[in-house]
Amino acid sequence: MYNKILVAYDGSEFSNAALHHGRDLAQLCGAELHLLGIVATKAYVISPEVFGAVDLWALERAEVEHAIERAAILLSDTGVELGTHIREGNPVEEIANCCAELDADLAIIGHSDKGLLARWLEGSVGAGLVKDLPCNLLIATR
């Protein structure tokens, strides 16, 4: 059914749901499982006066890398062939590009309960993927 499954993962409660679905489907199908962590660089412009000389993207990248490492450790004894990837950029574009490069059959993302303002400012990753994704999409809610 599925040969390669990509899970967008950042360590959040919502991406944990995606991780569990990805693990279960990979085991069921004998598929490769790929974890993708994304450092979203399309976010807001932040004044340096507010945060000083803090490199926010470096901090975000370190958090994403740590989350991917923890997830890989959790999956290490499942028998699933695992690949990990870290990307920087727009989440919709990076998920779609990674799926295309891997020739993935399925992408799994977690559903977040963003409010109206957050959706307006950031957009919906799921809605963007429906249009641009070269494979099937599963949005995990729990």
Interval 85-95: pLDDT, tens: 999 999 999 99
Residue 17: which CATH number? Answer: 3.40.50.620
pLDDT score for 121: 46
* Structural domain count of the chain: 1
* Selection from 39, 70, 75, 42 nearest residue 57 by Cα: 39
Least confident of 46-55, 76-85, 104-113: 46-55
CA distance 49 to 36: 32
> Using 50, 70 and 90 to split pLDDT, how confident is the model at 115?
low
**Which residue range(s) make up the domain with 86?**
4-140
**Ranges assigned E (strand) in the chain:** 4-8, 32-40, 82-89, 106-110, 136-140
CA distance 80 to 97: 23
Measured over the CA atoms of residue 103, residue 106, residue 110 and residue 114, the dihedral's sign is positive
Span 19-75, pLDDT tens digits: 999 999 999 999 999 999 999 876 544 555 555 556 777 888 999 999 999 999 999
